[in-house]
Chain A
Amino acid sequence: MKRSALDGSPQTNFIYLLPGLLLYTAFVFGPIVAALGLSLTSWDGLTMPRWVGLGNYADLFSDSRFYIALRNNAELMIFYCVLPLVLGITLAACVWNLKQREQLALRTFLFLPYIMPTAVLGIIWAWLYNPAFGPFNQFLRAIGLGRFALPWLGDFNFVLPAVGIVATWYFFGFCMVIFLTGIQRIDPSLFDAAKVDGASARKTFFWITLPLLLPEIRVVLLLTVIASIKSFDLIFTMTRGGPANATLVPNIYMYQLGFELNRFGAAAAIAIVGALLTFAINYAIHRLVGSRSKGMA
């Protein structure tokens, strides 16, 4: 059956598909499959890989550092996902009925971090947090809170929130923008009806806005959860996983095992676990947060 007036024989159709597909297979899909195979071997990058089956995975799940990395990643999700979601939705509810120009100006400022390279943001924030001459501590001292001027990135207890806040700062404007378009999609007569019925702003928000924003909530959750699992640049440039593993996450651990210790099989196993985790969470969010029509497939 023809798909459209433009359809032809499969052989000629493949001409359109082939260049992109070949390139993709050679440099993305092939390496993904290879990573899967590599994770079943022990390999130092020099000698022949040695088959170890699921040995790397077994090692990983009896490795306390890996559990530390997973726990750190779970804690970082508060800053990558929960805070930007809550902040974004609150801000969108506050901003959406401001005048068009003011809304645009606020959106421009709040969204700005999202277009930046996270690696460079990490370097900038490492400077802002610098205990001796960083602006952050200078500000604390200036307003009389000098005793809170801590070495943020060097303190075992504070480093995770300090890094996490940067992720929140990076994502919350993006979340707000997504929710803003979500609110504009909602039929305005619903809000009018609520007003006529004398519903308070709070009630309108929880009973009308919030439920109707479920598709956007799902998108924001998906994107931020995936971003938190693949977090590398920001943490690498700020702390490299330190101090004392306080900000170690799976991808940093993968980098250490692979490119510093030449244990490529074990590193690949972490990468595969990360990818599986992404799929699982993706699936869970699709199931739990009201599913809608998907794109083409």
Chain B
Amino acid sequence: MGRSSNIPAALFLRIVLWLLAFVTITPFLLLLLTSIKSKADVLKGAFALPAYPHFENYLDAWNAGHFNIYFWNSIVVVIPVVAVSVFLGLLTGFAFAYLSFPLRRTLFAILTLGMMVPAEAFIIPLYYEMRYFGLINTYAALIVPQIAMSIPFSTIFLASAMQQLPEEVLEAAVLDGAGRFYILRKIVIPLMIPAMSTLALFLFIWTWNEFLIPFILVNDDAYRTLPLGMLFFQGRYTVNTPVLTAGAVIVIFPLILTYLVFQRRFIAGLTAGATK
């Protein structure tokens, strides 16, 4: 598609593109608009502006709708999942990038299996395993399986990043008599900061958005994360659309913020991973 010399056609194309972009984000704009309406405003039509913004909907969602609890739970789950997954990914990734051990290919195949098989396929045994350990309705039920599910991607992502590090630097360190833990800590990890932060970004979004694990492994409202809270909130508040939409904004606002701040890193990581 060479640069079009046909000005009206090019202009028309751009108008269509921007229209499409606008339509794509319309659900989010409607969400924002409705979240600051009163119940009476909603009856005037979805596209009508409210007389003045009703921010108290957010307070209602936050307190009466328990979004304070759900938000806190999401934070409590996402931080250890991201931190531990990146840490374990560094260790196993280090092993797959540099070390030899028996059954290497088999272990790699077993790990990639975990990336292909969706959680839906093993959720039933996982549920009974967690029940056996008495972990249903605990933070551990939300955190530990999520870390385990993140290990294959973390390992492969970090191992392939480590393989691109200059071999000479590591060889020089070995010749200087440095131990492996020391080299990992002082040389590999500092060089891996960009890859690690991209990985952390992916893990944050996946964990924040996870639905099945908290849906099956937790049924106590005190442990629900945001997407789950939203589902049960909908059951209770379906008639109160402004508060429901305020709740939805609370769920997606941290995602939009993260996305806007780290957009380039996120997309670069996505396309690097996708074309591998």
Contact = CB atoms under 8 A, between A and B. Distances in A.
B50 interface: no
Contacts of B271: 177-178, 181
Interface residues of B, number: 106
A48 B212 CA distance: 26
A251 B120 contact: yes
A6 B120 contact: no
Given A173-B24, A219-B274, A201 B2 contact: yes
B95 A17 contact: yes
Given A112-B25, A116-B252, A91 B174 contact: no
B96 to A, nearest CB: 7
B148 A182 contact: no
Contacts of A82: none
B205 interface: yes
B128 to A, nearest CB: 8
Given A93-B1, A296-B96, A271 B121 contact: yes
A295 B160 contact: yes
Nearest to B216: A259
Interface string A224-252: 00100110110001000000000000010
A123 B246 CA distance: 13
B46 A134 contact: yes
| Central interface residue in B121, B123, B271, by most chain A CB within 10 Å | B121
B71 to A, nearest CB: 13
A128 B46 CA distance: 9
Interface string A121-144: 001111110000111001100100
Interface in A231-282: 232-233, 237, 251, 254, 258-259, 264, 267-268, 271-272, 274-275, 278-279, 282
A34 to B, nearest CB: 4
B46 A28 contact: no
A264 B123 CA distance: 11
Q: How large is the interface on A (under 10, 10 to 19, 20 to 34, 35 or more residues)?
A: 35 or more
Chain A binding surface SS class: helix
A21 B47 contact: no
A5 B174 contact: yes
A278 B120 CA distance: 12
A91 B14 CA distance: 11
B55 to A, nearest CB: 20
A10 B98 contact: no
B83 interface: no
Contacts of B241: 127, 133
Interface string B204-221: 010011111000100000
30 contacts: A6-B183, A10-B100, A19-B92, A20-B91, A27-B145, A28-B122, A29-B113, A38-B124, A91-B17, A98-B17, A109-B22, A110-B21, A113-B24, A115-B259, A116-B255, A117-B252, A119-B211, A120-B227, A120-B230, A133-B46, A135-B46, A173-B24, A201-B2, A215-B275, A232-B120, A233-B212, A264-B124, A274-B121, A295-B160, A297-B105
Interface of A: 1-8, 10, 13-14, 16-17, 19-21, 23-24, 26-32, 34-35, 38, 45, 91, 93-98, 102, 105-113, 115-120, 123-128, 133-135, 138-139, 142, 169, 173-174, 177-178, 181-182, 185, 191, 194-195, 201, 204-205, 209, 215-216, 219, 223, 226, 229-230, 232-233, 237, 251, 254, 258-259, 264, 267-268, 271-272, 274-275, 278-279, 282, 294-297
